[in-house]
Chains A and B, each alone.
Chain A
Amino acid sequence: ETGVTQTPRHLVMGMTNKKSLKCEQHLGHNAMYWYKQSAKKPLELMFVYSLEERVENNSVPSRFSPECPNSSHLFLHLHTLQPEDSALYLCASSQDFPGLAGDGVHEQFFGPGTRLTVL
């Protein structure tokens, strides 16, 4: 619906597993983002990529490893996660960084999220 798709929609993994979340945007945007949404907490920014280059790593533990092979795809590689990492992981994209120029032009479009449960 928004032009940003995420797979899988649901994921259950053990603490020793390795898995990857995938995000794809069909909007021709230049910036992509990973957010974590936990219950009763604000959305937490994790990573920002602009033109495939990481421009922000918001003190995220190394067990989360992002990858942006091209401007349309963004991955989040997961390994040795903890139960407290269970959350909704949201991907977003924008034409450029938010608020740079034009009202509403650089809004972030969000995907539906991946609901992650770590056992």
Chain B
Amino acid sequence: GESVGLHLPTLSVQEGDNSIINCAYSNSASDYFIWYKQESGKGPQFIIDIRSNMDKRQGQRVTVLLNKTVKHLSLQIAATQPGDSAVYFCAERNQAGTALIFGKGTTLSVSS
């Protein structure tokens, strides 16, 4: 079936460090992936997405890496700031192409 998951439920880093959040997916046919950030009391907010024909995509302070061989997705946040503290979800497009399937989320805590 379709499912995505994350390796670690929590990640704690110091301000200024680089953060890496990992995600494994099970559907080798998945062609579109997306990362969301959810702050307390808010809905998920889009960070960055990537298609399966790419290995890497960069945004502002964030990079998404896709390794299709091992079905692994990662989000790298450079120079992590306290404002980056949130729950991060990876998601993939479902087989029908109508919606997203979300992983469980990793809680990132940034201490200053």
Contacts and interface: CB of A to CB of B under 8 A. Distances in A.
A34 to B, nearest CB: 10
A41 B101 CA distance: 12
B97 A90 contact: no
B49 A107 contact: yes
Given A104-B46, A110-B44, A42 B100 contact: no
A103 B98 CA distance: 16
Contacts, number: 73
Given A4-B43, A42-B105, A112-B43, 5 more contacts: A40-B104, A45-B99, A98-B97, A103-B51, A113-B43
Interface residues of A, number: 28
A4 B105 CA distance: 22
Interface residues of B, number: 30
A92 interface: yes
A109 B51 CA distance: 19
B102 A43 contact: yes
A60 interface: no
A45 B93 CA distance: 12
Contacts of B34: 98-99, 107
Interface of B: 4, 31-32, 34, 36, 41-46, 48-51, 57, 89, 91, 93-94, 96-105
Contacts of B45: 2, 110
14 contacts: A42-B89, A42-B103, A42-B105, A43-B44, A43-B91, A45-B101, A56-B96, A90-B44, A99-B51, A103-B51, A107-B49, A108-B100, A111-B43, A113-B42
Contacts of B43: 2, 4, 90, 92, 110-113
A55 B96 CA distance: 10
